[in-house]
Every structure is written in structure tokens, then in C-alpha cells.
Amino acid sequence: MEPPAAATSVTLRDVAAASGVSVSTASRALDERGTASRSAAAVHVRKIAEELGYRRNSFASSLRRGETRTLGVLVPRLSDTVMALMFEELERAAAARGYFAMVATSGDDPDDERRAAETLLDRNVDGLILATARLDDELPRLLRKRAVAHALVLRTDGESPSALGDDEVGGYLAVRHLVDLGHQDIAVVTGPSFTSSGLARLAGARKAMDEAGLSTPEDWLIAAGYGIENGYTAGEYLLAKSTGKRPTAIFAANDNIAMGIMASAHRSGITVGKDLALVGYNDTPLSARLPTPLSSVRVPLDQIAATAIELIVNPGMEPRIRRAMPTLIPRESSGGPRHT
């Protein structure tokens, strides 16, 4: 079969005629929104379309349906490993449902976040996915008021549709692991107090310590940022020899914090995995490749991303707040059983 000349735009009608089927049958066979039909007719139509060089005009067909098949994703910053990984999974999950995901950053600034959201909405996205972290954020409430399809990822405000890991369970697993190894002097360095993830991970850590009958000094429960530098500063404080008693174990509420604590411990001559047990959170790719591989709580980002897309596509889906189960991945940084 000779394909049309390069200047010729192959239409759906051309594909239907060449395939010997109706235009509606050809349209259904080439519809990318759902699972591709495996019927002989559909396979034949797709083969003919490929031979003719047909390209579906997604924009035009979306306009006819009153949608753009595009989703906007708001993240604080893409320099954060977890945010970058989360966006990649959202992009894959969106593509699997026939959507295109575009990203904008807010830098954790509420005003910049609202401006970015309005810019995305001006581009007629079919929904917004927010990975921004502040509990005092007004944007989800405004989106609910305007009936804009949206979902929160890796966080929740308790009202908007949300897909996240069960942070309280994750915090519990991390500290329970340290308790089971025999540690009694455990510190926790968590995220900012304005984040649902930081508060929930701390709540889980407290639950594990309460179960074990452990009393932790309040100044060993540190609310920091999620950056490596925040972990380093917290590590300097907790591991300083001048403070007298030091923790034998630390739960860091993300891997960046844990890496900062590792650096601080090294500078103080403290060996992680021997003198200090350390557990992080999120199990980022670098964690297993550090000089002392980091024990960490793994969160199923792919599952969270797929759920977020479903919450957008099916806005009436219940429950609206869905938590995926985390898993503890023990490595050398938490050491072996402690003899007390």
C-alpha cells in the first residue's frame, strides 16, 4: 500500500476507507483513552493507520469532548528527589490513562502556588494534582469551592481527595525497628510542623516509643526542614559531646535529613551503623548506595500516582483519602541488635 505524499494530511476518514470499516469503528479502534481493543478489526485498523502515517488529532477531539486530556501538577521544587520521582510516576500513570501531565513549581510559597495553579487552569487542564505540603494552604479549599477537579499527593488536608503513604504507620515501623534492636535512647528529626507528613510520621514514632515504655526528651524531637542541611544541623545538635547524653538511634523523617545526620556524625567521629543507628524515609535510589547503606521506609510512589490519577478521572470515587502501606527496608545504617 502506497502511503499518501508527505504534504497530505491523513484523516480518520482515509483510514476508515482503507480499512473497509466505518468512520466510527475506526475512531473506536484508534481511541487512546482506554485499553486498546484486541479484536481482529481493531488490530487491522491500527495496522492500516500506521502504514498510512495517520496521527490522531488529540487536541481537536478533546475540544469536541470539552476536555484537553492534560493535568497540571504542582510541586514545591523538582530539585527534591522525592518530588522528581513523584512527578515521573504521575507522568507515567497519566499517560496510561491517555493524559499528559505538565509540572509547575511553587517553592513552598503560597502566593506562588496560587499563581502557578491559575496559570495551569488558564491552559484548561482537566485537573490539578498538588504535591505542595503546607497544612495552612488555602488552595485546596479554593479548588473545592470552585469545583475544580484536584487531588493531593504525599499529603492530605483531611478534606480534598488525597493519595499518600500512611505516614503514621511509616513512622511507627521506623522506630519499632530501632526499639526491636534494643535502643532506648531514640531521637526523631521530622519535617516542618506545617506538613501533614511530618506530623503523622512523628505521631507514629511516638506511638512506637509509648508502646515500648520509652520516655524521650522533648528536645530530641526536632521539627526541621526536609533538606540535607536541616539534617546536618539537627545532627550537630543531637550528637554534640557537650550536651552529655546522646541518642544511640535516630529516626529521620526523610532520606535527605538522614544523609545530613550521617555527614554530621562522620565529622564528629561517630560511625553510623555501629555507634549510631539511623533510619530514613522514602527509600530514594541513593539510599542503598551510600558508603553505609541507609535503612529506610519505602513508600509505593507508583501506587500513589495511579490512585491520584483515578481520583481526578473519577471524582466521585470513595474513599476520597487513600493511604498506601509503607515498608521498612533494613540496611547497615541501623546496625545489628544492641546488647543492653
Is the pLDDT higher at 7 or at 230? Answer: 230
pLDDT for 1 beyond 60: no
Instruction: Quick: pLDDT tens for 80-101.
Output: 899 999 999 999 999 999 999 9
Give 255's contacts (C-beta < 8 A, 6+ positions apart): 81, 280, 281, 282, 283, 284, 286, 287, 294, 296
pLDDT tens digits for 292-303? Answer: 999 999 999 999
| pLDDT given for residue 294 in this prediction | 98
User: What's the whole-number mean pLDDT along residues 269-285?
Assistant: 96
Whether 52 has a pLDDT exceeding 80, the answer reads yes
Enter the pTM of the model: 0.79
Beta bridge partners of 249: 186, 277
Whether 171 shows a pLDDT value over 60: the answer reads yes
Longest CA–CA span in the chain (Å) reads: 84
Query: For the chain, what is the mean pLDDT?
Result: 89
Residues 83 and 75: beta-carbon distance below 8 Å = yes
* Of 286, 290, 282, nearest in space to 328 by CA: 282
> Rounded mean pLDDT of 269-282?
97
Which of 60-64, 229-233, 293-297 comes out lowest in average pLDDT? 60-64
> How do residues 115-167 score in pLDDT, each as one tens digit?
999 999 988 899 999 998 678 888 999 999 889 999 999 999 999 999 999 99
Grid cell 501531565 in the structure block, residue: 101
- Hey, which of 21-25, 119-123, 169-173 has the most confident mean pLDDT? 169-173
Q: How many residues does the structure list for the chain?
A: 340
- What's the pLDDT band for 4 if we cut at 50, 70, 90? very low
Residue 6, pLDDT score? 39
Residue with cell 484537553: 68
Q: Which of 24-33, 212-221, 293-302 has the lowest mean pLDDT?
A: 24-33
b/e burial code for range 189-204 (CB count within 10 A of at least 16 → b): bbbbeebbbbbbbbeb
Q: Can you give the pLDDT at residue 28?
A: 83
**2: pLDDT strictly greater than 70:** no
- For the four alpha carbons of 86, 92, 96 and 101, in that order, the dihedral sign comes to positive
Beta strand 150-153 with 162-165 is parallel
Q: How far apart are CA 306 and CA 327, in angstroms?
A: 18
Q: How far is it, in rounded angstroms, from Cα 166 to Cα 146?
A: 28
pLDDT (average), residues 232-247 = 85
Least confident window among 59-68, 129-138, 164-173: 59-68
pLDDT band for 64, please (50, 70, 90 cuts). very low
Angle at alpha carbon of residue 91, lines to 97 and 101, rounded to 5°: 85
